[in-house]
Amino acid sequence: MKTEPTEAYEAVKYYEANNINIDAFRAKKLCDMAFYEGQSSPNIKQLEWNFYGTYYSAETPVIDYLITQENDFSINEDECSLWVNGFPISHSTLEEAKAAAQADFEKRIKECLA
C-alpha cells in the first residue's frame, strides 16, 4: 500500500534532474496527482504496543486494543485473544492478533475519511 504521493515526487525529481521547467500546467498536474495519491492511500500510523507482563495494549484516541495470552495449560501457549474496546474479536498467535488489530484500525480510520 502506498502511504505518500510517491508518483508525484518521482515526477518532480525527473523534471529537476532534466532541467525541465515546471510551468503552471505541469504544476497543476503534479498537485492533482499528489492529492489523489494521498486520498487513495492515507498514511496511517502503526499501532504502538505496550507489554504489561500478562497482556499487550495499544491505545489510540479512537479505539483501544488488548491482546491477552492464554494461561490455561490445556490451550496452546502461543494462542492469544484480541479484544477491541473490551469485546473479544479473535483467537490467534500474537503476531496474527497484532496484524488483525492493525487491519481493523486502518479500516476504521479509512471509513472516517470516506
Q: Where are the domains of the chain?
A: 6-40, 50-113
Which of 7-10's residues contact partners 24+ apart within 8 Å by CB, and which partners? 7/33, 7/37, 8/33, 8/34, 8/37, 9/34
Residue 94 predicted with pLDDT over 80: yes
In this prediction, residue 13 carries a pLDDT of 77
Q: Distance between CA atoms of 36 and 70, rounded to whole angstroms? A: 44
Enter the DSSP assignment of 46: P
What average pLDDT does range 83-90 have in this prediction?
Answer: 87
Is 102:47 a contact under the CB 8 Å cutoff? Answer: yes
What average pLDDT does range 49-78 have in this prediction?
Answer: 80
Q: What is the pLDDT of the chain when averaged over all its residues?
A: 78
Q: Bigger pLDDT: 65 or 93?
A: 65
